[in-house]
Amino acid sequence: MTTPLQRLGGPERLRDGATWLLAFIGAFATVAGLTGRLDTLTEGSLLPVGAIALAVVVVTLGLTVQREFGLDPDEGGRPATADALVLYQAEDCPHCRKVRRLCTRNGISYTCHNPRTAGTMFTDGTVTNRDRHTELEGYGQDQVPLLVDRERGESLYESDDIVAYLEEHYAR
């Protein structure tokens, strides 16, 4: 036995039909209000109905587009990779920027540490966080970027190697 809602084509079809009906009512009321029918404006009979109908149409169409294109909101919370990946980096370093850009483009979350400033060809950077710098050196080198994947037990220094590793294991 089918329900009346199933006979109408389900809730999506009913909502789509209601959307078009409200769009028609909204358009009618708005046109009637804007065509010079001052009596409808002074009485306030059609313009508020049209405005409400258009608002409902916009919201309904927005929700329909969201559903059709899979634009569901993020459920929140920390992504699983945030605790697994640690990036030791310096803000001004172009190699670190390359790694950050890949993570941003692919939605890869990580914990970021800034143990020192970016160095030059002739000097190392200035240590800005002694504890984090000691951790960085504990992996073998005083070099950024350093990616530590706690989940897989890997640590990588070169930006090209880090990018290739992230693309293989974490990129969408």
pTM (predicted TM-score)? 0.53
How many Cβ atoms sit within 10 Å of the Cβ of residue 86? 19
CB 102 within 8 A of CB 167: yes
Of the given ranges (16-20, 133-137, 164-168), which has the lowest mean pLDDT? 16-20
What is the model's pLDDT at position 172?
A: 72
Model pLDDT for residues 134-150, shown as the tens digit of each residue: 888 899 998 899 999 99
Round to whole Å and give the CA distance between 135 and 117.
15
